[in-house]
Amino acid sequence: MSDDDPRARRRARRITWAVRLGSVLLRLLAATWRIREIEGERIRAPLRERRPFVAVFWHGQMLPLLWWHRNRGIAILISEHGDGEVIARIARNLGYELVRGSSSRGAERALLESIRTASSGTPVAITPDGPRGPAYSFAAGALLVSHRAGAPILPVAASASRAWRLRSWDRFIIPKPFARVTVAYGDPTLVNAASARDAAAQTPSFQTRLAALGESIGA
């Protein structure tokens, strides 16, 4: 047995307890939220008709969006960094399919798996500024998935009337008990491009769209 085994076991136990506690706290807290949708048919229609899309949202807005879209047959790209394992397990408990990887670890594998998942008809959710920022900076990965899989980009944003904001790079929001949570959807847009490079070149346009959607609801 190597010297690393005790540390690995302790880490595994910490993750297990963090997932159990986090899942319980999220369900108790989210049960008090009052959630309203803006342009909700933009996501309900493709889910109902089993049409894939690539949902994009800022990393800091993940918590209320994870809760609101639970058990809808969506796959989500989760980082392999740090707390990514805790988030991944909580997401799985909420009914999400998982794609693991990030811009700096497992990037190519995650991109190919996201394309395969979307091409098979499953919607994929991606935080284009994750897993470590900079905040509100739109990486091109989601556009490449849309381009290769032929699945439109669906901007999604969330805000809360009252929320705690963590002192993290993404200013992660946790809506407070009984907060009014607003979830808004932008126009679904297919990335039409002659090549992957041309698709990536459209990043500023999609960053502007996602930022504007968040601003429209005070996110």
217 pLDDT higher than 50: yes
Q: How far is CA 70 from CA 22, 105, 170, 206, in A?
A: 15, 26, 22, 25
Burial class (CB in 10 A: 0-12, 13-18, 19+), 6: exposed
Question: Which of 2-11, 140-149, 177-186, 200-209 is predicted least confidently?
Answer: 2-11
Using one digit for the tens of pLDDT, what is the confidence trace for 120-164? 999 999 999 978 889 999 999 999 999 999 999 999 999 999 999
pTM: 0.91
The pLDDT, as a whole number, for residue 136 is 95
Show the CA angle centred on residue 42, arms to residues 40 and 46, nearest 5°.
Answer: 120
The pLDDT, as a whole number, for residue 84 is 79
The pLDDT, as a whole number, for residue 15 is 87
Question: Which of 38-52, 77-91, 153-167, 174-188 is predicted least confidently?
Answer: 77-91
Average pLDDT over residues 172-176: 97
pLDDT interval class at 6 (50, 70, 90) = confident
DSSP at 204: H
174 pLDDT higher than 60: yes
The pLDDT, as a whole number, for residue 4 is 64
Burial 126-156 (b: 16+ CB within 10 A, else e): bbbbbbbeeebebbbbbbbbbbbbebbbbbb
pLDDT interval class at 7 (50, 70, 90) = confident
Show the CA angle centred on residue 97, arms to residues 93 and 101, nearest 5°.
Answer: 110
Query: Where along the chain do its domains lie?
Result: 4-216
Q: How far is CA 202 from CA 155, 189, 209, in A?
A: 14, 12, 11
The pLDDT, as a whole number, for residue 106 is 64
Q: For residues 177 and 134, what is the distance between their CA atoms, to the nearest angstrom?
A: 29
Q: For residues 195 and 174, what is the distance between their CA atoms, to the nearest angstrom?
A: 39
2 pLDDT higher than 70: no
Q: What is the mean pLDDT of the chain?
A: 92
1 pLDDT higher than 50: no
208 pLDDT higher than 70: yes
The pLDDT, as a whole number, for residue 83 is 66
Total residues found in the chain within this entry: 219
Q: Which of 74-83, 102-111, 115-124, 126-135 has the highest mean pLDDT?
A: 115-124
